[in-house]
Amino acid sequence: MKTKPRRSLETRGGGWVLAQFPLLVLAFLIPQWTGGPFGLDRPLQWLGASLVALGVSLTVLGMAALGRYLTPFPRPLAQARFRRSGAYGVVRHPIYSGIVLAAIGWSLLWSSAAGVVFALMLGVFFDRKAAREEAWLQRKFKPYRAYMRGVKKLIPWVY
């Protein structure tokens, strides 16, 4: 009798998830530790508030589009469906893009240059996590390569 292979933390890309959570906490805390007063009394803080709103919206739309197939792991679930409309028609990884946008905005709200730098480093982390995820997505969904040519990875119309 043949048994199903066990899906371990490692085979699902769990190292990425284990690294991700402390990075998200730091993206929230660093601006508070290193920035000035939180508020909306400067133009960059207004930009920050807008980026937080946009980032949270993009993240929520991406999560809603995945629905019950949402997972923090880069390896897609076996029953996952290929999404390419809505938020996934704007960027291939709207959840990652939204988190980075919100982190940049949060840093601007706190007037924290260190927070902005950390948010950009968080963007590099999500770019690398997305690269790993896309290797699995290309194997799972044949049209994924064509989708990659038509929709940018993290920044609409740019990258």
pLDDT at 121: 98
User: CB within 8 A of 144, min separation 6: which ones?
Assistant: 82, 134, 137, 138
Per-residue model confidence as pLDDT tens for the chain (159 residues): 554 545 677 788 999 999 999 999 999 999 999 999 888 888 999 999 999 999 999 999 999 999 999 999 999 999 999 999 999 999 999 999 999 999 999 999 999 999 999 999 999 999 999 999 999 999 999 999 999 999 999 999 999
pLDDT at 27: 98
Q: How far apart are CA 42 and CA 28, in angstroms?
A: 20
Tell me the domains of the chain and their CATH numbers.
17-69+79-150 (1.20.120.1630)
The pTM (predicted TM-score) of the whole model is: 0.91
